[in-house]
């Protein structure tokens, strides 16, 4: 009798499949920059990166934005995907049929639905028109959303998504827990940096957590309490644990995306055993 396992080999391991989906975001060539690369370049502070990790760890959907192309919103999106808890599957939705197939699943827990960009281009992973509203419906029933678009602040983002052309509802947009925006200085030494980070509590209320100081260029904490609107104080991983981990990453030797992802998986596993 033929060896059935040889005829039907095991599917690609989840971590390997997720890394492949993240790598597909990289359309400019070169290696995918890690969150450690961004911290080293001053693109984001360890404190802001730790806050993002904490919210991602507890289920927040996330959108990254910047009006100019090349600002780094896709790289930041990839790094947020690298913060997902182990066991969560990245499902890229490159076209309307993929979105409809995903909507047919009544239970979306353990799924992160990825749109490479909300835009009218014909490139892989771009969504536009009423399909965008359907994509945002995937954030219900336990699903998580991840995407980027050309917007510099929450008002611009809302004005794009809630237009009749796209038709995203206020409720669906309000479910997105994290909005991160990039700034791009095209001077002699082109610099890319996170200009603001906003959080939402799921009901549509948004709070500015970090914002760039226009004079110094430093990313400052704006919220009186980082824990406001987040998961409960006893939820693991805690914000303090995420802060300690991100500082250790910034000071450690791991730099390649795969190395940082491996360290992040180890962080989750340690926190789950505490």
Residue ranges covered by each domain of the chain = 12-209+236-272
What gap in Å lies between CA 196 and CA 213, rounded to an integer?
10
| pTM for this predicted structure | 0.92
Q: Which position has the higher pLDDT, 227 or 197?
A: 197
Q: Which of 186-190, 198-202, 203-207, 242-246 has the lowest mean pLDDT?
A: 186-190
Q: Which of 56-65, 78-87, 107-116, 215-224 has the lowest mean pLDDT?
A: 215-224
User: Topology of domain 12-209+236-272, per CATH?
Assistant: Rossmann fold (3.40.50)
The model's pLDDT over 126-154, given as tens digits with 9 standing for 90+, comes to: 999 999 999 999 999 999 999 999 999 99
Task: State yes or no: pLDDT of 18 exceeds 70.
Answer: yes
Task: State yes or no: pLDDT of 2 exceeds 80.
Answer: no
Alpha helices in the chain (DSSP H): 4-7, 14-23, 35-40, 46-57, 73-81, 96-103, 130-137, 154-161, 170-174, 239-251, 257-272
């Amino acid at each position: 009798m033929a060896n059935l396992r040889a005829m039907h080999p095991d599917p690609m391991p989840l971590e390997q499949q997720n890394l492949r989906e993240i790598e597909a975001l990289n359309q400019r060539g070169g290696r995918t920059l890690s969150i450690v690369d961004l911290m080293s370049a001053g693109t984001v502070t360890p404190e802001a990166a730790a806050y993002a990790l904490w919210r991602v760890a507890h289920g927040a959907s996330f959108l990254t934005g910047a009006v100019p192309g090349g600002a780094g919103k896709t790289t930041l999106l990839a790094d947020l995907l690298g913060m997902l808890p182990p066991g969560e599957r990245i499902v890229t939705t490159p076209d309307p049929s993929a979105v409809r197939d995903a909507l047919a699943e009544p239970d979306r827990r353990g799924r992160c639905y990825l749109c490479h960009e909300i835009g009218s281009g014909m490139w892989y992973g771009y969504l536009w028109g009423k399909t965008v509203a359907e994509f945002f419906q995937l954030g219900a029933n336990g699903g998580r959303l991840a995407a980027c678009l050309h917007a510099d602040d929450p008002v611009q983002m809302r004005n794009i998504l809630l237009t009749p052309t796209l038709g995203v509802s206020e409720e669906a947009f309000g479910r997105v827990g994290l909005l991160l925006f990039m700034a791009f200085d095209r001077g002699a030494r082109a610099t890319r940096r996170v200009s603001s980070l906003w959080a939402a509590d799921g009901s549509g209320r948004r709070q500015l957590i970090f914002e760039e100081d226009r004079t110094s260029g430093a990313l400052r904490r704006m919220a009186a309490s980082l824990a406001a609107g987040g998961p409960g104080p006893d939820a693991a991983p805690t914000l303090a644990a995420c802060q300690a981990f991100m500082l250790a990453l910034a000071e450690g030797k791991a730099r390649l995306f795969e190395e940082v992802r491996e360290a992040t998986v180890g962080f989750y596993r340690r926190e789950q055993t505490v």
